[in-house]
């Protein structure tokens, strides 16, 4: 199987990407990794030790985090992200991974790779951390701001298939993000979506409140892109504030400083557990090929996790299963 990696996007590009590619190529000889980017940058980092299952696909432009997504994708046709998307579109790679500009990657999915037949709006599906360390796949997290009930139904079905094919969950429990657990709760969107989900061929468990997401009542959480963004960033903001307050409090006296020093590794563990994005790639579900978004701050370990994820999804025929499910609908 062939996987394209945008080695120019993300905070630790290109070093982390090339390091992870070398490690992955050694571990999985059946996988060919295509490093997309500037060869003059990539070649010296690869050195002479580049294995046969790594190749370079030249792309001289880079889409930055401040680039306006759609404009950048249209104008920078020789950017690493667009070229990687084109490899998927042309069937030269089964998947692409990028930890660059999220908006631009969603635009690459729509405009370069293209929608999966039958899907109206692709959705971005990161994993949230849960207390039990298993995680919840939540979609959409910002690709589709004005979702219709039918879009939420498609998210539910795509999320279920993903959890089944990639994580081996037999009947993934699907929850609907809502303001209360009763079926009559919510806005017009969630009330109508509730009825659709109830009658869909999925394991729908009902509404899930934002306060209960991390308790993992469900395996797939469905929501519109606006609410999803609020959910994700509210949790990020609360976590960041709590850690700031803890820092203030724990450095307020000599004794507390001493005690806090002892607990430093414990605090680090908690912080890492809450960093749901860091170690999981988020698939853009609903495009005609596998597009995986790595967190902007992905290091080599995170990039390799994304490669592993792509391998599992390809190996288990995720895109073929999605195509079967929606084709002609």
Residues that bind a second copy (CB under 8 A): 131, 142, 145-146, 177, 179, 186-188, 190, 209-215, 224-227, 229-242, 244-246, 249-250, 252, 255-256, 258-260, 262-263, 266-267, 269-270, 273-274
Which is nearest to 22 in space by CA: 303, 312, 259?
A: 303
Q: How far is the CB of 312 from a second copy (least distance, A)?
A: 27
- Cβ contacts of residue 80 below 8 Å, gap of 6+? 6, 7, 8, 9, 36, 37, 38, 59, 61, 62, 63, 98, 100
Can you tell me which residue has the tokens 């429990």? 173
Q: How far apart are CA 12 and CA 21, in angstroms?
A: 14
Instruction: Considering the complex, state which of residue 2 and residue 271 has its C-beta at the smaller distance from a second copy.
Output: 271
Instruction: Considering the complex, state which of residue 259 and residue 320 has its C-beta at the smaller distance from a second copy.
Output: 259
Q: How far is the CB of 231 from a second copy (least distance, A)?
A: 5
Q: How far is the CB of 101 from a second copy (least distance, A)?
A: 12
Which is nearest to 5 in space by CA: 41, 33, 45?
A: 33
Instruction: Considering the complex, state which of residue 274 and residue 287 has its C-beta at the smaller distance from a second copy.
Output: 274
Q: How far is the CB of 63 from a second copy (least distance, A)?
A: 17
Please, are residues 126 and 282 in contact by the beta-carbon 8 Å criterion?
yes
- Cβ contacts of residue 41 below 8 Å, gap of 6+? 7, 8, 14
Q: How far is the CB of 242 from a second copy (least distance, A)?
A: 5
| Token couple for 9 | 């996007």
Instruction: Considering the complex, state which of residue 123 and residue 289 has its C-beta at the smaller distance from a second copy.
Output: 123
Instruction: Considering the complex, state which of residue 199 and residue 252 has its C-beta at the smaller distance from a second copy.
Output: 252
Q: How far is the CB of 276 from a second copy (least distance, A)?
A: 10
Q: How far is the CB of 178 from a second copy (least distance, A)?
A: 8
| Token couple for 317 | 């025929």
Instruction: Considering the complex, state which of residue 128 and residue 326 has its C-beta at the smaller distance from a second copy.
Output: 128
Instruction: Considering the complex, state which of residue 31 and residue 227 has its C-beta at the smaller distance from a second copy.
Output: 227
Instruction: Considering the complex, state which of residue 234 and residue 320 has its C-beta at the smaller distance from a second copy.
Output: 234
Q: How far apart are CA 37 and CA 104, in angstroms?
A: 16
Cis peptide before 234 (omega within 30 of 0): no
Q: How far apart are CA 85 and CA 288, in angstroms?
A: 11
Can you tell me which residue has the tokens 């060919």? 32
DSSP letters along 295-320, please?
PTT--HHHHHHHHHHHHHHHHTTHHH
Instruction: Considering the complex, state which of residue 92 and residue 264 has its C-beta at the smaller distance from a second copy.
Output: 264
Q: How far is the CB of 277 from a second copy (least distance, A)?
A: 12
- Cβ contacts of residue 266 below 8 Å, gap of 6+? none
Please, are residues 140 and 228 in contact by the beta-carbon 8 Å criterion?
yes
Which is nearest to 54 in space by CA: 43, 63, 64?
A: 43
Q: How far is the CB of 69 from a second copy (least distance, A)?
A: 11
Can you tell me which residue has the tokens 């306006």? 68
Q: How far apart are CA 128 and CA 134, in angstroms?
A: 9
């Amino acid at each position: 199987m062939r996987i394209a990696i945008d080695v120019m996007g993300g905070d630790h590009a290109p070093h982390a990407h090339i390091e992870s590619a070398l490690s992955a190529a050694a571990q999985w000889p059946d996988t060919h990794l295509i490093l997309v980017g500037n060869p003059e940058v990539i070649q010296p980092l690869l050195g002479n030790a580049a294995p046969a299952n790594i190749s370079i696909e030249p792309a001289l432009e880079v889409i930055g985090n401040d680039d306006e997504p759609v404009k950048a994708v249209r104008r920078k046709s020789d950017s690493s992200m667009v070229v990687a998307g084109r490899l998927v579109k042309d069937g030269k790679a089964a998947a692409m991974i990028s930890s660059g500009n999220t908006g631009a990657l969603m635009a690459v999915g729509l405009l370069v790779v293209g929608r999966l037949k039958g899907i109206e709006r692709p959705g971005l599906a990161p994993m949230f951390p849960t207390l039990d360390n298993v995680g919840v796949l939540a979609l959409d997290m910002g690709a589709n701001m004005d979702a219709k009930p039918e879009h939420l139904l498609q998210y539910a079905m795509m999320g279920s298939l993903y959890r089944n094919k990639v994580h081996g969950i037999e009947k993934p429990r699907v929850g609907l993000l809502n303001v209360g657990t009763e079926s009559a709760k919510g806005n017009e969107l969630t009330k109508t979506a509730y009825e659709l989900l109830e009658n869909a061929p999925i394991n729908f468990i009902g509404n899930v409140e934002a306060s209960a997401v991390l308790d993992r009542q469900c395996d797939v959480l469905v929501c519109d892109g606006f609410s999803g963004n609020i959910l994700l960033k509210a949790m990020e903001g609360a976590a960041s504030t709590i850690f700031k307050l803890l820092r203030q409090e724990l450095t307020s006296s000599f004794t507390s400083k001493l005690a806090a020093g002892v607990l430093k590794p414990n605090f680090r563990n908690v912080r890492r557990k809450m960093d749901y994005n860091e170690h999981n790639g988020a698939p853009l579900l609903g495009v005609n090929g596998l597009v995986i978004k790595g967190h902007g701050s992905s290091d080599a370990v995170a990039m390799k996790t994304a490669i592993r994820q792509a391998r599992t999804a390809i190996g288990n025929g995720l895109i073929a299963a999605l195509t079967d499910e929606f084709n002609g609908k």
